[in-house]
Amino acid sequence: MKLKPIVTGGVVVLVGGLGIYALLKSHGAAASSADEEEAPPTVVSVQTGALQRMTLHQYVTGFGTVMPAPATAGAPAADAPLAAPTAGVVASLNVVEGQHVAQGDLLLTLNSGSTTADYAVAEVERQKKLYAQHNTSLKNLQDAETQLALLRVTAPLAGTVTRVNVKPGAAVDLTTVVAEIMDLDRLVVAAAIPETAAAALKVGEAVQVLTPPPVTATLTSVSPTVDPGDGTVLARAALPPGCGLRPGQFVSLRIVTGVAAGCLAAPEASVVTDIDGHSVLALVNGDRAVQTPVQTGYREDGWVQVSAPGLKAGDAVVTVGAYGLPDKTQVKIEAPPAAESPAAGAGATPAP
């Protein structure tokens, strides 16, 4: 067998195969290029909101307990636990829990081991008559009045009887708290605020007590000391009279520490972070979403304070679909359900 014709035939077949492969590859590349040119652009369905002029607030939040106001330089404490002035037995009760009393009203009387309340009243009246007739001394009258005072418990302030701890016939001594009176128009909410947040607090700032309905109080004191046990600072806010809150009630609150009036605000869902860690908005320009870097500020009730050159109230921004949206993506705007539309909350208010 001759080797040369065989080799020559193999070479011819190989060259022919390579030519066919090159032709098919060229045809495939051309077809792929044509497909890419004919492929429609990507359109992303999104929902949008609009920038607004609003008043936003900065808050320090916390939890507190409603309690009577403590004593101050201008007023006594708003509650008074009343102890028995002497050892004895309860002779009569003149009040019930929930009753309003005036300062000086008689709450209860006692009988002691040496005398009774009735006898002490009669003795004071007798000494007054004798003194008027110059038949007794001022000391005797004062002694009789002192004896009577030891057998009577009176209200040291106007308020509501919140507790009665004894009944007629009950034995009491100097350590027995027989009743408690509270001025329910002078209540405060006391809150333990973390030390780092307490530095922003100032007396006189508004405090929003987040009860239904909300109650606005006024910050009256911020302790200069820190509780070493939990690193908090005690703050108190005076509640308005007739606020409807009860002593002992546990409430959440927020203290207004800053106000941005008439600032430009964006729906919170529209402000996202890009791969470089910057805050951006997807600003709708025609049918495109343009990534726009912004500076952010206060956040409140689903709104964020934003600023950037060229932004104005009414500008449309992507809310649903904003995260990870490439710059200048073509978008199709869908209307959000009415219940999901951003709206100003109780704190954030649209600017006029």
Same domain? 64 vs 204: yes
In whole angstroms, give the CA distance from residue 213 to residue 121: 50
Q: What is the pLDDT of residue 86?
A: 94
Place of tokens 């009789």: 144
- 200-212 tens-digit pLDDT: 999 999 999 999 9
Residues 106 and 241 in one domain: no
| 227 neighbors 268 (Cβ within 8 angstroms) | no
What's residue 201's pLDDT?
A: 93
Whether 78 contacts 174, CB under 8 Å: no
Q: Which one of 147, 182, 217 terminates a domain?
A: 182
Q: Are 235 and 227 in contact (CB under 8 A)?
A: no
pLDDT in the model for residue 339 = 53
Q: Is the pLDDT of residue 309 over 80?
A: yes
Among 125, 157, 182, identify where a domain stops. 182
> pLDDT for 233-287, tens place per residue?
999 999 999 999 999 999 999 999 889 999 999 999 999 998 888 999 999 999 9
Does residue 116 lie in a domain region? yes
Q: What pLDDT, on a 0 to 100 scale, did the predictor assign at position 176?
A: 95
Q: Which amino acid is at 15?
A: V
Residue pair 256/204 in contact by the 8 Å Cβ criterion:
no
- Band of the pLDDT at 349, cuts 50, 70, 90? confident
- Confidence band of 14 (pLDDT split at 50, 70, 90): very low
Percent of the chain surpassing pLDDT 70: 84
Q: Do you know the residue count of the chain?
A: 352
Phi/psi of residue 122, nearest 5 degrees? -65, -40
Q: Does residue 7 lie in a domain region?
A: no
pLDDT of residue 324: 87
Q: How far apart are alpha carbons 259 and 295 in whole angstroms?
A: 17
Give the burial string for 76-98 (b: 16+ CB within 10 Å, else e). Answer: ebbbbebebbeebebbebebeee
CA 97 to chain centre: 32
- pLDDT band of residue 13 (cuts 50, 70, 90) is very low
Kindly give, in sequence order, each residue whose CB lies less than 8 Å from that of residue 267, ignoring residues fewer than 6 positions away.
49, 302, 303, 304, 317, 319, 342
> What's the mean per-residue pLDDT of the chain?
87
Examine the domain organization and report whether 194 and 52 are in the same domain: no
**Co-location of 290 and 255 in the same domain:** no
Tell me if 114 is assigned to some domain: yes
pLDDT at residue 345 is higher than 80: no
Cα gap 293→285, rounded to integer Å: 15
CA distance 107 to 122: 19
If asked whether residues 213 and 250 sit together in one domain, one would say yes
Lowest mean pLDDT among 1-10, 130-139, 341-350: 1-10
One domain, residues 114 and 145: yes
Give the separation between CA 235 and CA 237, rounded to whole angstroms.
7
- Cα(178)–Cα(253) distance, integer angstroms: 34
pLDDT score of 8: 52
Whichever domain contains 340, its CATH number is 2.40.420.20
Q: What are phi and psi of 100, to 5 degrees?
A: -85, 135
CATH number at residue 105: 2.40.50.100
CA distance 48 to 233: 43
Mean pLDDT for the stretch of residues 24-51: 66
User: Which candidate, 40, 135, 109, 105, places its Cα nearest to that of 332?
Assistant: 40
Q: Are residues 271 and 253 located together in one domain of the fold?
A: no
Residue 6 placed within a domain: no
Residue 344: per-residue pLDDT: 45
Contact in structure between 204 and 221 (CB atoms under 8 Å): no
Cα maximum dimension of the chain: 168
Q: Give the dihedral of Cα atoms 113, 116, 119, 121; nearest 10 deg.
A: 120
Q: Which pLDDT does position 156 carry in this prediction? A: 94
Q: How far apart are CA 261 and CA 268, in angstroms?
A: 18
Task: Supply the pLDDT for residue 346.
Answer: 47
Strands 250-267 and 295-300: unpaired
Same-domain status, 90 and 229? no
Q: What is the mean pLDDT of residues 156-184?
A: 96
Give dist(CA 222, CA 64) in Å, integer.
13
Does 96 reside within a domain? yes
* Least confidently predicted of 28-42, 121-135, 195-209, 332-346: 28-42
- Kindly tell me if the per-residue pLDDT of 138 is higher than 90: yes
Question: Number of C-alpha atoms within 13 angstroms, CB side, residue 166?
Answer: 27
In this predicted structure, the answer to whether residue 25 has a pLDDT above a threshold of 80 is: no
- The CATH number given to whatever domain includes residue 226 is 2.40.30.170
> By residue range, what is the domain housing residue 251?
59-68+185-259
Instruction: Decide: helix, strand or coil at residue 286.
Output: coil
337 band by pLDDT with thresholds 50, 70 and 90: low
- What is the count of structural domains for the chain? 3
88 & 177 share domain:
yes
Q: Is the pLDDT of residue 73 over 80?
A: yes
According to the model, what pLDDT value does residue 74 have? Answer: 84
Is residue 275 within 8 Å of 211, Cβ to Cβ? Answer: no
Q: 272 and 234 in one domain?
A: no
* Claim to verify: residue 63 and residue 194 sit in the same structural domain: yes
HSE, CB side, 13 Å, CA atoms: give it for residue 270.
33
- Which residue, 220, 235, 259, sits at the end of a domain? 259
The answer as to whether 48 is a domain residue is yes
pLDDT digits (tens, 9 = 90+) for 77-129: 999 999 999 999 999 999 999 999 999 999 999 999 889 999 999 999 999 99
In the structure encoding, which two tokens stand for residue 297, read together?
């500020």
DSSP 8-state secondary structure symbol assigned to residue 227: B
Q: Which uninterrupted H or E stretch holds 352?
A: none
Q: Is the residue at 14 inside a domain?
A: no
* Residue 76 maps to a domain: no
Does residue 306 sit in the same domain as residue 165?
Answer: no
